[in-house]
Structure 1
C-alpha cells in the first residue's frame, strides 16, 4: 500500500490497481485512469467517485439494460394509465361487473350471428349437393354454374369457420382481460380504502392469480420472491439466458415455433412491489397460437402459487 503524507492537498485521488496496491496522488497518471478512483478533500473525505472504465462488452450490456428499463417504464406508465381509466370509469366493482356482462353479451351475440351464418351456408351446400346428386342419377351433366356454386359454398363455410375461431380466441382473451380488470380494480380500491394491502388478501390473490403477477408483502419478501421468480423463469423457458438484473430477468428471444421465452419484471406502483411474468413466443401464426394456448396460460397461473409455496417452504 502506498499511503499519502500527513497533509492532504486540496484535491487528492485514491485508487487501487490490478495488484491491489493503493495509491494517493494529486494527479492520475495516464496508465492508471482505467481504475476506479475516489476524489478526497483536504479532510480526506470522499467527494466524488469515478467508476472503473467499462469494457466494450460491458458498455453494450449497459446499453441493452438501459433500453430494457425504458421498455419497463413504458409498461409501468401503461399500467398507471389503465389504473386511472378503471378508477375514473367505474364507481364500484358492481359497475365494472355490469359493464363486463354487457361486453360479454355483445360478444356472445356476435358469435351466434356467425354460427347462424354457418348453418345457412351448410344448408345451402346440402341443397346444392342434393341437386347435383339428382342430376347425376338422371344421367345429366352437372352445369358449371352448379359446380362453381358448390365450390363457393364450401369456401364460404371455411371462411366463416375461421372467423368463428378468431372470435372464440377474442372471447377467451376478453375473458382474461375482464378477470384482470376485476382483480386490479379490487386491488386498487382496497389499497385506497386502507392505505395498505392486507397480507391475507394478497396471499389469496397470489394463489388464484391468472395474470402472472405476484404482489409482494414487503421488501424482504420481495427479495426472496425475486430469486424464486428467476428459478421459475429458467425452468419454464426453452431459450437460453439473456438478461438478469435487479429489476429484469429475461430469457433469449424465441427462435422456433415451439419456443417459450419467459421474463420477470420487478415493478413498483404506489409503493407496492409486484413481480410480473411475461411469455414471449415466436412472431408467427404457430407462435401466436402457442402463447394463447392452455400450456402458456398454465405457466402464468402457476407463477404466483409457485412463489407462494416456495416462500412457505423457507419459513
Structure 2
C-alpha cells in the first residue's frame, strides 16, 4: 500500500515536470535587400517572404515556407487553371462525340448542346484576357508617367519602379498573347463543330464521313508563361 501511495504522489510531479519542458525553439532565415537575415521571430515585412526554419537545438533545417504570391501571380495562376479546364473540356467533348455519336444524340440540336460548355469557357476566357489587358495597360501607363516625372525632375528612377514597369510590361505581353490564343481556339471551335455535324449527318445517313469532315481542327496553342 505504501508503494502504491508513493506512486500516486509521483504522478502530479511527473506531469508538472513535463509541462516545464520548453517548446523547441527555431530560427527564421530569409533574404532581405540582398542579405541573409536570421531571427527567432518574424518581423511584419518578412511574413510573406520565402524563408527557412532552423532548429536552435540541432542547427538543422526543419522546414521551408515559400513566399506569398503577388496579386499578379495569383491572377496568372487562375488564368492557367482556366486554360487547363478549357483543354480538358475539349478533350472530353471529343471523346464523348467519338464514342456515342449516334446512340447519344437524337438530332443535331442535342449534339450542339455538347459544345455549348466549351464555347462558353473559351468566350469567358477571351473576356477575362481583355479585362486583364485593359487593367495592365492602365497600370503600366501610370507607372511610366511616374517614371517620366522622376526623369523630368532630374531624379533617378527608383530600381523598384523600373522593376515594376518591366514586370507589368511582360504581363501585358503575355495576356495579349493569351487573348490571341483564345481567339484562335474560338475560331477553331466553330470549324470543329461544323466538321462534327457533317460527320454526324453522314453517320445518320449511313454514309462514310468525308476525310475532310473528320480531320481535327487546330486548337491554337497557348503560349508558355515566361
TM bracket (short chain): 0.3 to 0.5
TM-score, length basis structure 1: 0.35
Hey, which of these two has a bigger chunk of helix by percent?
A: 2
When normalised by structure 2's length, the TM-score is 0.47
Higher RCO, 1 or 2 (CA under 8 Å, sep at least 6)?
2
